[in-house]
Amino acid sequence: MRRWVLGWLVVLSALSLAQTRVVLGVGGKTAVVYLPLTVVERLGYFKEEGLDVVIQDLQAGSRTLQALIGGSVEVVMGFYDHTIQMQAQGRDIVAFVQVGRYPAIVLGVRSDLAGEVRSVADLKGRRVGVTAPGSSTHFFLNYLLAKNGLKPTDVSVIGVSVGAQAVAAVQNRQVEAISNVEPAITLLQERGLIRILADTRTTKGTREVLGGEYPAAVLYTTRAWLERNPETAQRLVNAMVRGLRWMWGKSPEEIAQVLPEEYFLGDRALYLKVLANSLESFSPTGRFSDTAPLRPLVVLSSFDPKVAQAKIDLKRTYTNAFVDRVPKR
């Protein structure tokens, strides 16, 4: 009898573990900046941590932030700079694992306009595509405008989403320039549709544009959720760090093998180039450095008066506590 009861307790414990459900929002699941999320999902690491992660693809970072504030998602895979922006508005949002150490955002101008638009300053009066207004691709554009003596209102911003939709916006001349992420950028380059003005996919490019490492894609949530669900947060981080470790040192071909066919947009060879252009941007450890979070604060302060005027406590916008407890495998 005792053995039977113990057996059922083990079964019930396993069922309880398997039933931990998390609703996670992402601003464009096929965007390469968020690729580790798909890798972790496809390799089964969430399930191995006893998590049922329900992923809602909301197609833009600003929408996922709104979903978190509104309570329709519990955790977001989005850009770190939103945590700073929210603190300036009195909201306590915390990033708890770093996925991208560089933004991997690129600003490009349509090739047929390259003779007229030779620098960011020449974008004045132009239509510029971003994933969505208020997203990190928009922040990146605003920073570059400010750096070149322009105001955010000096250009017309149009939301063009990611992937094929972003490519179509350039191809159909809906926009004259674009601030976006992979796979759209390599697709546009390969078709000769854009000329690059600023590129943060690599160490070299990020250093030139932003001065060095810049926390980009992260998992973030409200401090209240994190404090209520520390075990669930730890399991999420365990899975994400395991995925980042798996990706580090892998070739584009090896990573492509675990991805869904639809990610390749009908051209696997081209997608391998996309991966080759992007792999340097991912964090190998999931850990935030003590100095890199200052860069997003500088960027946001250059064009957002609320951030510039607020007293931001960067230590409250991120934590390494969960990453530091990830088991060494």
- What does the DSSP assignment read for 213-260? ----EEEEEEHHHHHH-HHHHHHHHHHHHHHHHHHTT--HHHHHTTS-
Q: What is the mean pLDDT of residues 192-208?
A: 94
Residue 181 has pLDDT above 50, yes or no: yes
Closest to 26 in 3D by CA, of 50, 53, 47, 51? 53
Please enumerate in sequence order all residues whose Cβ is within 8 A of that of 109, keeping only pairs 6 or more positions apart, or say none.
117, 123, 176, 177, 194, 195, 197
At 154, give phi and psi (nearest 5°).
-75, -10
256-306 pLDDT, tens digit per residue, is 999 999 888 888 999 999 999 899 999 999 999 999 999 999 999 999 999
2 — pLDDT class (breaks 50, 70, 90):
low
pLDDT digits (tens, 9 = 90+) for 89-114: 999 999 999 999 999 999 999 999 99
Position 184, amino acid? A
The pTM score is 0.85
Question: Would you state the structure tokens that stand for residue 185, as one six-digit string?
Answer: 């950028």
Residue 181 CB coordination number (10 Å): 31
Is 70 exceeded by the pLDDT of residue 10? Answer: no
Neighbours of 127 (CB within 10 A): 16
pLDDT exceeds 60 at position 18:
no
Alpha-carbon gap, residue 161 to 5, rounded angstroms: 54
Query: With contact defined as beta carbons under 8 Å apart, do 204 and 198 qualify?
Result: no
CATH numbers and ranges of domains, the chain:
2-102+214-325 (3.40.190.10), 106-199 (3.40.190.10)
What is the pLDDT of the chain when averaged over all its residues?
A: 91
State the average pLDDT over residues 73-81: 95
Half-sphere exposure (Cβ direction) of 255: Cα atoms closer than 13 Å: 28
Specify the 3-state DSSP secondary structure of 20: strand
- In the chain, the percentage of residues whose pLDDT exceeds 90 is 79
Mean pLDDT of the region 23-44:
93
For residue 134, what pLDDT band results from cuts at 50, 70 and 90? confident
Structure tokens at 151: 């105001």
Alpha-carbon distance 77 to 64, whole Å? Answer: 8
Pairing outcome for strands 51-57 and 93-98: unpaired
Contacts of 10 (CB under 8 A, 6+ apart): none
Buried b (16+ CB within 10 A) or exposed e, 185-208: bbbbbeeebbbebbbbbbeebbee
pLDDT at 9: 45
